[in-house]
Chain A
């Protein structure tokens, strides 16, 4: 059974600081996603990482994937208040003939002024 673990689960950081969220998963996969979720809202896709060594950046967020270590990171640079949200990683796998996403528990990020 695929397990996806994120840490930390809760993160408070000051504006302007840098931090990294980690996502470990237990079995091989060829696709990993990062999502953002605001309170009471749905999931907003941030990044899709498709291969070992993949790195993607959008604004103050950068995601990377190491398939050999089964590890993805989401790095936040010079955080701003607008980044406050819950961030999920999700790993793509097959269930029967279906492709399903297995999500981590999420990292609740609060950026303090």
Chain B
């Protein structure tokens, strides 16, 4: 039991719509990272939040955005969904320099 929880576990959206995914970090962890894992591939870093600020970003367009709240929970927002956004989205929490613990993921399907 890692303590990182994500919601929802599955959802289906239509191309062009917007989606919000949520993550509750493990107790005491102040850093949250988001990853996208397309089918058959390794996870790819989207961005990281620390103390409610984005402090690093991977090669993802601006329509991928996020928030971190004072309790360290986080949201990932994706606007103007495309078919290629279909993937497993993983949230990981950690201390700043500590090991990352992953949630169970949200499976997003865009049709």
Interface of B is mostly: strand
Interface residues on A, range: 20 to 34
- Which residues, 8 to 29 on A, are CB-close (under 8 Å) to B? none
Is A113 an interface residue, CB under 8 A from the partner? no
Interface pairs (29), CB distance under 8 Å:
A4-B42, A42-B105, A43-B43, A43-B90, A43-B102, A45-B99, A48-B99, A90-B43, A95-B45, A95-B48, A95-B56, A95-B57, A95-B58, A98-B33, A98-B47, A99-B56, A99-B94, A99-B97, A100-B48, A100-B56, A101-B43, A101-B45, A101-B92, A102-B45, A103-B42, A103-B43, A103-B44, A104-B42, A106-B41
Q: A43-B43, A105-B42, A106-B41 are in contact. Are A100 and B58 (CB under 8 A)?
A: yes
Which residues of A lie under 8 Å from residue B41 when comparing CB positions? 105-106
Of A42, A98, A102, A104, which one neighbours B90 at CB under 8 angstroms?
Answer: A42
Considering only CB atoms, which chain A residue lies closest to B45 in the complex?
Answer: A100
> In this complex, which of A94, A95, A97, A104 has the most chain B Cβ atoms within 10 angstroms of its Cβ?
A95
Taking a contact as CB atoms under 8 Å apart, the answer to whether A88 and B42 are in contact is yes
**In the complex, what distance in Å separates the CA atom of A40 from the CA atom of B78?**
22
Is B65 an interface residue, CB under 8 A from the partner? no
Which residues of B lie under 8 Å from residue A59 when comparing CB positions? none
Taking a contact as CB atoms under 8 Å apart, the answer to whether B103 and A106 are in contact is no
